[in-house]
């Protein structure tokens, strides 16, 4: 990602960083931790800083949104909708409540941040600071700006709180810097796919006692629409699901890959698929899709479309393709109705599979291949049908179950990745 380099005390980056830079910065943060701060003070500072970022007109937010939009080809309208969802859980009351129950410790945590979604990892940053910890954030090369800017907002709000977080940037090939992070911190949390986490674990723990204790590997999300009367508000429901799909261009662990619809008749499910396609088109008009995709992403969307198209041409009556945009716009939106599909991963960028199921046992069977690797599900069901699918999703390992339209706004105490990070912050007595 291109953009002005941050040179302020809270954010340092560059190809020339070495282990001494990381260790020196860690020593500064540990020095700040030696001056105790009341949890209520930290909570007030975070509430003020996060409150500023919740405002679309906040100048720093505007600068970061513009920079990411230019570098990634995403629309500012999409980024604003996404940031609105990201910051929604961080209201003053939630922050105060978390601070009152936080188990504090004088620790320095290193967090290796993700690069696929701007601002991803904010829950962990806020929870750690509210728990009295200091942080060294290693930002990803594609997105080095959001957390650097947020750290500066926090410093401007309360310098003593802001001194407890340092934001730095180096490439994953810089093993010396990553190893120094392992030496300098009490423990490490890291985002990334499973192979990335394994590599990082070897680098940060080589010859050291520190190891990666909290890893957020590849996890996936979906939507379940259960019950016989869900079609009453079909358009409203479709719009809410479309919002979950569109935000962050479907790139994060909270973005749905597939919708499972309980319906006896194929025609009922197909009707909802059309409603969903129309909702995605309305969102495309409101939040334009990316102006460009890299070749890998564009090819993945194309493969999804062409696979469905060839199955239709081959006479598969259980498949239907709906797509927004033609050959010149492969990324506008894509919906594939695949009547009997098991859970299917999406290439992202507003591409979604929809499948039908008949009963709860079938729902479990069709999702079970990914058991233990689910993050979130949106669940739409009348009260009489809520409990059974809810329990199934919990059995499958979903950490956050919500109403459609709220998938990108989990609460501050969300057990992301199964809760390993929160458990490390809040050890059992």
Average pLDDT of span 248-266: 96
Average pLDDT of span 395-408: 97
pLDDT at 429 > cutoff 60: no
User: Which of the residue ranges 33-47, 206-220, 281-295 would you say has the lowest mean pLDDT?
Assistant: 206-220
pLDDT of residue 1: 37
Q: Are 167 and 246 in the same domain?
A: no
Domain with 231 in it: 220-402
Q: Kindly state the tokens that stand for 195.
A: 């192979």
Q: Write down the mean pLDDT value for the chain.
A: 90
Q: Is the separation of the CB atoms in 332 and 338 below 8 Å? A: no
Q: Are strands 374-380 and 351-357 parallel, antiparallel or unpaired?
A: unpaired
Q: Is the dihedral of CA 53, 96, 160, 167 positive or negative?
A: negative
Please list the helix, strand and coil fractions of the chain in percent, rounded to the nearest 5, in that order. Answer: 50, 15, 35
* Inside any domain, residue 36: yes
Q: At 243, is the secondary structure helix, strand, or coil?
A: helix
Query: Which residues have C-beta within 8 Å of that of residue 210, sequence separation ≥ 6?
Result: 182, 183, 185, 186, 187, 188, 204
Residue at a domain's end among 218, 236, 257 = 218
Q: Are 242 and 354 in the same domain?
A: yes
Q: Are 34 and 102 in the same domain?
A: yes
**Residue 390 belongs to a domain with what CATH number?**
3.40.309.10
pLDDT of residue 342: 96
The 10s digit of each residue's pLDDT in 98-154 is 999 888 899 999 999 999 999 999 999 999 999 999 999 999 999 999 999 999 999
* Inside any domain, residue 209: yes
- Where do the H-state alpha helices sit in 134-249? 146-157, 159-162, 175-184, 194-205, 234-246
The 10s digit of each residue's pLDDT in 195-244 is 555 565 665 555 554 556 666 778 999 999 998 655 557 899 999 999 99
Q: Are 72 and 201 in the same domain?
A: yes
Count of residues making up the chain: 429
- The structural domain count of the chain equals 2
Residues of the chain with pLDDT > 70: what percent? 88
* Inside any domain, residue 314: yes
Q: Are 207 and 254 in the same domain?
A: no
* Inside any domain, residue 25: yes
Q: How confident is the model at residue 7 (pLDDT cuts 50, 70, 90)?
A: very low
Cα 286 from Cα 278, distance rounded (Å) = 13
Location of structure tokens 């320095």: 108
Average pLDDT of span 411-425: 92
The 10s digit of each residue's pLDDT in 312-336 is 999 999 999 999 976 555 579 999 9
Q: Are 259 and 299 in the same domain?
A: yes
User: Which of the residue ranges 115-124, 173-182, 302-311, 398-407 would you say has the lowest mean pLDDT?
Assistant: 173-182
Average pLDDT of span 28-45: 97
Q: Are 307 and 200 in the same domain?
A: no
**Residue 112 belongs to a domain with what CATH number?**
3.40.605.10
Cα 213 from Cα 204, distance rounded (Å) = 11
* Inside any domain, residue 244: yes
Q: Are 141 and 69 in the same domain?
A: yes
Q: Are 140 and 180 in the same domain?
A: yes
Q: How confident is the model at residue 389 (pLDDT cuts 50, 70, 90)?
A: very high
pLDDT of residue 2: 36
Q: Which residues pair with 112 in a beta bridge?
A: 138, 190
* Inside any domain, residue 41: yes
């Amino acid at each position: 990602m291109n953009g002005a380099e941050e040179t302020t005390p809270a954010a340092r980056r560059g190809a020339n960083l070495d282990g001494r830079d990381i260790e020196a910065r860690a020593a500064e943060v540990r020095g700040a931790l030696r001056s105790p701060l009341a949890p209520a003070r930290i909570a007030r500072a975070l509430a003020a800083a996060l409150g500023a970022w919740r405002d679309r007109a906040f100048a720093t937010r505007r600068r970061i949104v513009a920079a990411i939009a230019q570098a990634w080809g995403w629309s500012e309208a999409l980024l604003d909708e996404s940031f609105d969802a990201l910051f929604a859980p961080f209201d003053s009351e939630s922050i105060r409540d978390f601070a009152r129950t936080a188990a504090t410790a004088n620790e320095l945590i290193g967090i290796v941040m993700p690069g696929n979604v701007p601002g991803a990892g904010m829950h962990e940053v806020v929870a750690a600071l509210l728990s009295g910890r200091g942080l060294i954030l290693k930002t990803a090369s594609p997105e080095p700006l959001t957390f650097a800017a947020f750290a500066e907002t926090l410093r401007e709000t309360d310098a003593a709180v802001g001194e407890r977080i340092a934001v730095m940037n180096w490439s994953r090939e810089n093993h010396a810097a990553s190893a120094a992070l392992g030496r300098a911190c009490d423990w490490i949390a890291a985002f990334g796919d499973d192979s990335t986490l394994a590599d990082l674990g070897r680098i940060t723990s080589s010859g050291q006692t520190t190891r990666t204790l909290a890893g957020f590997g590849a996890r996936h999300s979906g939507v379940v629409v259960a019950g016989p009367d869900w079609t009453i508000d079909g358009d409203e429901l479709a719009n809410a699901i479309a919002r979950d799909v569109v935000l962050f261009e479907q790139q994060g662990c909270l973005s749905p890959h597939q919708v499972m619809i309980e319906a006896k008749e194929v025609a009922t499910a197909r009707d909802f698929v059309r409603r969903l396609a129309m909702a995605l088109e309305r969102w495309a008009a409101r939040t334009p899709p990316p102006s460009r995709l890299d070749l890998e992403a564009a090819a993945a969307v194309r493969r999804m479309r062409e696979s469905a198209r060839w199955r239709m041409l081959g006479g598969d009556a259980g498949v239907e393709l709906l797509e927004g945009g033609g050959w010149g716009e492969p990324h506008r939106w894509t919906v594939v109705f695949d009547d009997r599909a098991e859970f299917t991963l999406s290439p992202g960028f507003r591409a979604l599979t929809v499948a039908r199921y008949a009963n709860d046992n079938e729902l479990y069977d069709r999702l079970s291949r990914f058991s233990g690797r689910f993050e979130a599900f949106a669940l739409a069901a009348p009260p009489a049908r809520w409990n059974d699918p809810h329990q199934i999703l919990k059995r499958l390992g979903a950490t956050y179950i919500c109403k459609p339209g709220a998938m990108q706004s989990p609460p501050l105490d969300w057990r992301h990745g199964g809760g390993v990070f929160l458990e490390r912050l809040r050890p059992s007595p």
